[in-house]
Chain A
Amino acid sequence: MEEEVKAARPGSLGILSTLSGWSDEENSAARNFILSSVIWLALVVSVALIVATKFVWPDFLAGVAWLSFGRLRPLHVNGALFGWLSMSSAGIMLYILPKLTGVKLYSERLGNFACFLWNLLLLGAAITLPLGYTQGREYAEFILPLDYLLMIVLALLAYNVFKTVAQMKEKAMYVSLWYFLGSLVWVPITYFVGNNFLLDITGLGGKGPVPGVNDAMLNWWYGHNLIGMWFSTMGLGIFYYFLPVLTKNPLYSHRLSLIGFWTLAFFYVWNGQHHLIYGPGPDWLENVAITFSVLMLIPVFAVVYNFFKTAQGKWHLMFDNSAEHMPLKFFMVGGLAYFLTCTQGPFQALKTINSNFHLSYWVVGHAHLAFLATFSFISMACIYYILPRLLNTSVNMRLAHWHFWLLCSGLIIFLGILFAASIVQGAMWSAKLEEFDFITGRTIFKPAVEFIDIVRLLHPFYFTLWIGAGLMVFGVMLFVLNVLLTFYKAGKVQ
């Protein structure tokens, strides 16, 4: 604490001064990453609200090309993933790194430069995606120049982290470090493979370098691994560091975390095809993907068991309203959501369950459970923990509590409605009329419900979804406000 207070040099912490300049102050890179991530979060949730509104009133903002659903959706998804979550994870990692290695970050300037480039890249994405420049593949929508920029940024970040770790005197590494190093090795490979590098520069389509089916496989190998080998592993690295810090209990088992790490590294990368179950791809591949999806229960429960055992006896602190334990609220919800989302995963890969839930809103719910309820909550908890220490000031507790309860209540409505809607969709899709054809002697199944009637049935769901989304966006905006106010306060005091 004492050192951190000294490190936060007075007179240089205004919002503008943190963003500008290649500062080599200690922790300045972490600070800039966190500030940028939160600003992108504000954009992402605003887009989310527009998108949710369009489901209830489809003519809302109609006729404006760059505000149409199909162009805002990639902005929401990519903004949330590459803007908010990636940047906040990177910022938190840069804060943790000196604590775990016992040495200073290799280069704060390099970190700040990476942060600047990253913001530049996102600015490019925020302009190009609404203008309709897209590669047209989920999670890989960024056009090629932005892809190159992201690769450079990742390389800079990885170089910085590896150099820092190389300076370590002690060779025993805590599990968080394995996850960080692993992520920074995996993500460039995954990103490179998944983003059409040198394959289709125009993105115009037609007969491509690989047939459509293989393109789908490649896309989902990438899409799934981006989640598994970047967001999950970065999130888990942060999770493993803050679990003992916030609960003030020692980590239950290092052995278990070792098992979790290597099994995750092995199993996760084989799962991609479970996004295309019953699709046109080869059956053997689907079966392999399903097998490995079920095997994912091993790394997941290694983490979850460690979480429950470490947190044992500290659950009541969630309801302790003191400033000290406020981050724990978010953290525990994140841990529980991790348990939920990662238990859902293996089961929804099973063919019988998948046939009912695939292509329905279940998938959307699952994605929000993973990225919002799990990793965003963990990131938010960590930002609430880190900010007062980085900036030598305090966050507004009132806003933080409103943030928590608004976000949680909105989330419960939102997820509940999505999962309920998916059950309706699955049931309606499988409602068939049977007709016996006397000539061929075969039974023909025809949809018993017109598709548009299913859409009409979902209207009340869309409306409730919109209310849930509104509550969440309001809550998140309070978070953004709180963080910005904290930065402002820190700048002003000094």
Chain B
Amino acid sequence: MYTALILFILAGTIICLGGIYYRKSIALGLLVPGAVLLIIIAFLSTVVLPYREKIPATEKGVPYSEKALLGRQIYVREGCWYCHTQQVRPIRQDEGLGNISQPGDYQYDYPHVLGTERTGPDLSHVAGKYEDEWHKNHLINPRPRTLQEAGMAGKVLGSVMPPFSFLSKEEIDALVAYLQSLR
């Protein structure tokens, strides 16, 4: 694999330097073939080569139950993944969040929900942290709106999570089932 990688980088370098050295290359109509070749080379080495790597199975990488899968679709549809990551990195910032993410953990994740931003906490290992009731209350409205609500499970003062009161009861149940499956 590394041989292929080095060959690809070499090929790219030759095209790139050739383009710079032969000023006339563009006028000779070599722009389009060069441009296409460069992007294909990069695609082969950074997408196809890693795809050929074997992914060892992990305990986390198991199929979702039907209900959890439905919940996952809602998770994707409502854009939960814009604010919640599902990756634990091997660095100080992520210590204490649970096991470090392995490639095998995501075997049944499509589309991926790794996330890019952590406005809310990481959800890789959220299963079992809270009761189902907590999640339901939290999803409908994460903040306490009356004094009575302040003591309720799942009501967090200062949260900026959007309320998902528009989801049906079944949808909320499915979403909770998904969250409780993230071990």
Contact = CB atoms under 8 A, between A and B. Distances in A.
A186 B101 contact: no
B65 to A, nearest CB: 11
A269 B143 contact: no
B158 to A, nearest CB: 4
A270 B92 contact: no
Interface string A421-436: 0000110011010000
A217 B27 contact: no
A316 interface: no
B78 A262 contact: no
Given A270-B45, A359-B85, A456-B158, A65 B116 contact: no
Interface string B72-94: 11001111111101010111111
B107 interface: yes
A279 B42 contact: no
B29 to A, nearest CB: 9
Interface in A157-200: 171-173, 178, 181-182, 185-186, 189-190, 193, 196, 200
Given A212-B106, A213-B55, A359-B116, A58 B162 contact: yes
A217 B48 CA distance: 10
Interface residues of B, number: 88
Contacts of B7: none
Contacts of A441: none
B143 A59 contact: yes
Given A214-B50, A285-B46, A355-B93, A62 B39 contact: no
A289 to B, nearest CB: 7
Contact of B31 (A178, A207, A361): A178
A265 B78 contact: no
B161 A58 contact: yes
Interface stretch (A5-13, A132-140, A326-334, A396-404): A132-140
* Central interface residue in B23, B101, B107, B112, by most chain A CB within 10 Å: B112
Interface string A199-227: 01001111111111111111101000100
B93 to A, nearest CB: 4
Given A73-B79, A189-B36, A269-B42, A215 B111 contact: yes
Contacts of B156: 452
A212 B38 contact: no
Interface SS of chain A: helix
B106 to A, nearest CB: 3
A275 interface: yes
Contacts of A456: 158
A211 B31 contact: no
A134 B77 contact: yes
B158 A445 contact: no
A259 B107 contact: no
B103 interface: yes
A173 B79 contact: no
A282 interface: yes
Contact of B121 (A269, A273, A451): A451
* Central interface residue in B107, B111, B161, by most chain A CB within 10 Å: B111
* Central interface residue in A196, A204, A255, by most chain B CB within 10 Å: A204
A186 B35 contact: yes
Contacts of A181: 31-32, 35
B108 to A, nearest CB: 5
Interface of B: 2, 5, 12-13, 15-17, 19-20, 23, 26-27, 31-32, 34-36, 38-40, 42-43, 45-47, 49-51, 53, 55, 63-64, 69, 72-73, 76-83, 85, 87, 89-97, 101-103, 105-121, 141-143, 145, 156, 158-166
5 contacts: A59-B143, A185-B32, A211-B106, A212-B105, A213-B106
